Structure 1
Amino acid sequence: MTAFATPEEIAHRTTAARDAAVAAGRELGLEITEGRVLYELFSVVVHLAPSPVVARVPTVLPHTTTPESLAKRQQQELDVAQWLHDRGTPVIPPSPLVERKPVRRDGFSITFWPFTDEDGSSEPDYVKNSELSADLHKALRDYPGELEFLSSAEPRFVREGLRRLEGGDLVTPADLRRARAEWEVLEPLASDEAAFRAKFPQVDLQPIHGDSPPANIFASTDGPLFSDFELITYGPVEWDLAGLGPELTAAYDRGARKNGLRELDPEVLRFVNAVGAIRVLAYLSCADQLPAMVEFMQPFINQWRDTDPYA
């Protein structure tokens, strides 16, 4: 049996992350009378009131993440968000009130962003967001920052995460056998740019969001803003549409045509869908930190079961 974090332990983690964000913000010179938790799941997001600053504190992390690798990823996010903002792309940029770098405090690594008013008058429109994602891809094509190939696929974590699930009760033996067999085929293509290019010579590669931009567009009162570039990477644009289904990929293609970009390639889309599904399965190895993940991930696993194995 997996030993899940209790509600009390999760609440303590949230409080510790909030307190670390407040302490770090004060050290940076911000006026803070209260840390208000706005959101928590994989990260704790804290408004450092009354300053117009939000701190984001990652709290649920793969076992392969180190303080150094997390800080590197956060710096890449800060850099690309600022670069896009400077060029007029609608994004949530880093806070201009503090230095643009992650801050280590009490075991947490923290980044700072402007407090942005949300328009809560309607539900997210993922069809529209998918079409807008092509705008982001066009803006990112010229990004000069150094990015690793498909780092957001996290191939080492997936391999080790599947191994950690062995003998447990979170994944059926049949699912785990299938996942490991598929990963033997997928991992070389997700790990090696040369191998990917040899398999899919028909597609180009570029900087991409890395973590489903249609799900990470913030509905601000001033309009939609691209956000959460924590998994910024270099790869095929299909990665950003993985697992979203035909209605949303068709919407992206409409946006691509408007922007003079290529439409999604079916072969590459099948590849990224398969990689994304195995990555979801591997993330169950983190369910001890976030028990809600088990229920949250189940629809994606059921969808994967209904597909043909990748070979």
Structure 2
Amino acid sequence: MEPWELRRAVEAGRAIASELGLQVDDVVVIHNSDRVALRLVPCEVLARVAPSGHLADSEFEVEVARRLADVDAPVAELDPRVDPRVHVRDGFAISLWTYYEPVGSEIASDDYADVLLRHHAALRQIDLDAPQFTDRVAGALREVNDREHSPELSVSDRELLSDTLGGLSAAISSETAGDQLLHGEPHPGNLLNTRRGPLFVDLATCCRGPVEFDLAHTPEEVGKHYAGADHSLIQRCRALNWAMFSAWRWRRVDQMPDREHWRVEGLNQVRAALDRCGLG
């Protein structure tokens, strides 16, 4: 968010928590993109604040968290002191979560695979109306194909992303017989190492697809420890995921920090992933 919008988001998060009886003496910005994560001190709440246009996504995330808590999934929990719902204030959708103090050690590949296996098992226990992974790909493809939405994307790079998104999405969906509920983006930034063990966050990306779609977001070594994974499919999903990532970065309205770097890096990663699949 721009500085002026971030200030409003911070005040909205502080106000909602205070109105609900939580003590807020200070606010620390943990993450700032098109949505922000705020640590509220000393009540130790993580407030996730998004523009109200993302209200449906925030409500979906809260519902996913509520259902996964019932099956003891390895995910961050909503704050138990307040109602599990999304609050709207000053043009922002705000949800309140337990804040987990991170521990310093890096999560080993086998532990990463184990927690993802347990998360997938928990996701199979809940009944949830979630989009297919192909719906998310289609959204990225619309951004690429709309020159008004991505005006700075060159002709050749637009063709690369369009062909990758459309071709791989169709091929993967036709080749995989089964799918299940997935986290959607279980990359290292969405896996916290806490005193309770590794916990997944950012549940709004939950979708249906092959487990390899999730594994493609993790470090390369993780897939080697995940029983039954199709490693060729992981590589194709990795190329697809980088193409989606790149599509979001080239949107005119994208607010990811260091966006210019990630625009270039994303396209480089797409080409490298396609080469590894023999599709370059």
Q: TM-score range by the shorter chain?
A: 0.7 to 0.9
Aligned to 1:62: none
Correspondence list, 1:244-259, <5 A: 244=218, 246-251=220-225, 253=226, 256=227
Query: What does residue 136 of structure 1 align with?
Result: 119
Distance 1:127 1:293 in 2: 32
Higher RCO (CA < 8 A, seq sep 6+): 1
Is residue 74–residue 115 contact of structure 2 (8 Å, CA) maintained in 1?
no
| 2:115–2:198 Cα contact (<8 Å) kept | no
How many corresponding residue pairs? 276
The 1:135–1:283 alpha-carbon spacing in structure 2 relative to 1, beyond 3 Å, is same
User: Structure 1 residue 217: deviation in Å?
Assistant: 1.5
Distance 1:167 1:87 in 2: 41
Which residue is equivalent to 2:208? 234
Give % identity: 25
Match of 1:292 in 2: 258
Q: Distance in 2 between matches of 1:211 and 1:231?
A: 6
- Tell me if 1:72 matches 2:56: yes
TM-score (norm 1): 0.76
The structural deviation recorded for 1:137 is: 0.8
Q: Deviations over 1:65-110 (max 9, x none)?
A: x72xx32322222222232223323321111122211112222111
Report the Cα offset of residue 144 of structure 1. Answer: 1.2
Unaligned 5+ segments in structure 2 are none
Cα 1:152/1:109, change in 2 over 3 Å: farther
SS in 2 for 1:45: strand
Mapped partners of 1:229, 1:164: distance in 2: 30
Q: CA RMSD in A?
A: 2.9
- Mapped partners of 1:164, 1:216: distance in 2: 31
Q: Which runs of 4+ in 1 moved over 6 A?
A: none
Structure 1 Cα separation of the partners of residues 62 and 29 of structure 2: 21
**Which residue, 187, 204, 207 being the options, matches 2:181?**
207
How far, CA to CA, are the matches of 1:166 and 1:98 in structure 2? 39
Deviation at 1:55, TM superposition (A): 0.4
What residue in structure 2 maps to residue 174 of structure 1? 156
Structure 1 residue runs without a partner (length 5+): 1-8, 60-65, 191-195, 257-262
Contact 1:54 1:114 in 2 (8 A): yes
Aligned counterpart, 1:29 = 21
Give the deviation of 1:166 after TM superposition.
8.2
